[in-house]
Amino acid sequence: MTYRVSYDEGSVAATGSLGHVEVTRTEYFLTEFEALRRARQLLEDGDSHRVAVHDGSGHVIAGIRLQLKLGVQVVD
């Protein structure tokens, strides 16, 4: 199953007459472990304010930010 991590990059892009919008990045991982580790890294770095982890069906894995902030152990 492929997992997807989507996050805001913390920067904005000019969109002409529409003003500015935040740039969203998406990364793909083969395992849940890799996706969770990347999500934790993004949150700890503090550059991304929104991080979402999606499973292979496209569903958001609920409560991930809370779990990571509360110190769920991701073992390397």
Give the tens place of pLDDT for each residue, 28-74: 999 988 988 898 888 888 877 788 888 888 888 766 655 665 566 66
Region of 69 on the Ramachandran plot (φ > 0 left; ψ -120 to 50 alpha; else beta): alpha
Q: Which two tokens stand for residue 37?
A: 């580790």
pTM, rounded to two decimals: 0.68
Which of these, 16, 10, 1, lies nearest to 54 by C-alpha position? 1
**CA-to-CA distance for 35 and 67, rounded, in angstroms?**
14
Domain ranges of the chain: 3-69
**CA-to-CA distance for 67 and 44, rounded, in angstroms?**
13
What pLDDT is stored for residue 57 in this prediction? 87
